[in-house]
Amino acid sequence: AQTVTQSQPEMSVQEAETVTLSCTYDTSESDYYLFWYKQPPSRQMILVIRQEAYKQQNATENRFSVNFQKAAKSFSLKISDSQLGDAAMYFCALISNFGNEKLTFGTGTRLTIIP
Amino acid sequence: DAGITQSPRHKVTETGTPVTLRCHQTENHRYMYWYRQDPGHGLRLIHYSYGVKDTDKGEVSDGYSVSRSKTEDFLLTLESATSSQTSVYFCAISEYTGNTEAFFGQGTRLTVV
């Protein structure tokens, strides 16, 4: 079984500052993908960033970057220069590339941006 | 935007009645998923499909069944709705390639009274 744990139900950050959201996971597979999804009040699920487990280099997408620690099974999301539009629920997710392709989500972190 | 639609978008039903939610995709993706979203629980997997007529249970499958008779449609049925099944339901699709990503429908808000 694979699991994803997000231990921060809520986080807040001052506009223009940097915030890091935590995620740990567990899987017996050696090849897998990790994701961060954003869900604004519209309920739409938006992919923020993706990391392939076999890639040692941390993924980055503009102001969003990850710290992928494979041995520690940790996958944190860093948001730089936080903007009001970043306010949302953020979900960490995991899928193994082989086997049952079950896509598993964490419980989410609600991010508030303070103007 | 990926072609994935859920219907209905909102539904109110009575306890004990059967309910079917539909997920339709135009992307020809192999994998389809049904999740429910509840405060404090994130997205929990109900059932998923890895091909036509190939389905498997997720972590919260009790009281739900699914069917996939063709690639584009994945149906979720609540056999006898209960108040604990009041939730927002999401369908997702995916095709695992070098640009793996799951695409989501808009969600269905189901209220069981």
Over residues B19-62, the pLDDT tens digits come to 999 999 999 999 999 999 998 889 999 999 988 999 999 999 99
Q: Is the pLDDT at A87 greater than 80, yes or no?
A: yes
Q: Is the pLDDT at B97 greater than 70, yes or no?
A: no
User: Which of the residue ranges B16-20, B32-36, B94-98 would you say has the lowest mean pLDDT?
Assistant: B94-98
- The separation between CA B62 and the C-alpha centre of its own chain, rounded to angstroms, equals 14
Is B101 an 8 Å CB contact of chain A?
yes
Which residues have CB under 8 Å from A67's CB, separation 6+? A20, A58, A74, A75, A76, A78
Residues A6-21 pLDDT 10s: 999 999 999 999 999 9
Summarize the confidence of residues B15-21 as an average pLDDT.
97
Residues B54-83 pLDDT 10s: 999 999 999 999 999 999 999 999 999 999
Q: Is the pLDDT at A98 greater than 80, yes or no?
A: no
CA dist list (Å): A108 to A4, A36, A103, A111: 10, 10, 15, 10
**What pLDDT, on a 0 to 100 scale, did the predictor assign at position A71?**
93
**What pLDDT, on a 0 to 100 scale, did the predictor assign at position B40?**
86
Chain B: closest CA distance from residue A15 (Å): 26
**Confidence band (pLDDT; 50, 70, 90) for B87?**
very high
Cβ-contact A77, A49 below 8 angstroms: yes
**What pLDDT, on a 0 to 100 scale, did the predictor assign at position A99?**
57
**What pLDDT, on a 0 to 100 scale, did the predictor assign at position A28?**
87
Chain B: closest CA distance from residue A44 (Å): 6
Residues A25-74 pLDDT 10s: 999 888 889 999 999 999 999 999 999 988 889 999 999 999 999 999 99
CB contact under 8 Å between B40 and A107, yes or no, is yes
Name the residue of chain A whose CA is nearest to B43's CA: A105
Which residues have CB under 8 Å from B110's CB, separation 6+? B10, B11, B12, B13, B19, B21, B78, B81, B85, B86, B87, B88, B89
Chain A: closest CA distance from residue B20 (Å): 21
- The partner residue sitting opposite B92, judged by closest CB among A9, A43, A103, is A103
CB contact under 8 Å between A102 and B58, yes or no, is yes
Is B97 an 8 Å CB contact of chain A?
no
Q: Is the pLDDT at B112 greater than 90, yes or no?
A: yes
**What pLDDT, on a 0 to 100 scale, did the predictor assign at position B111?**
97
**What pLDDT, on a 0 to 100 scale, did the predictor assign at position B93?**
93
Which residues have CB under 8 Å from B98's CB, separation 6+? none
CB contact under 8 Å between B45 and A108, yes or no, is no
CB contact under 8 Å between B43 and A9, yes or no, is no
Q: Is the pLDDT at B100 greater than 80, yes or no?
A: no
Average pLDDT, rounded, for chain B? 93
Chain B: closest CA distance from residue A10 (Å): 11
CB contact under 8 Å between B41 and A107, yes or no, is yes
Amino acid A75 reads F
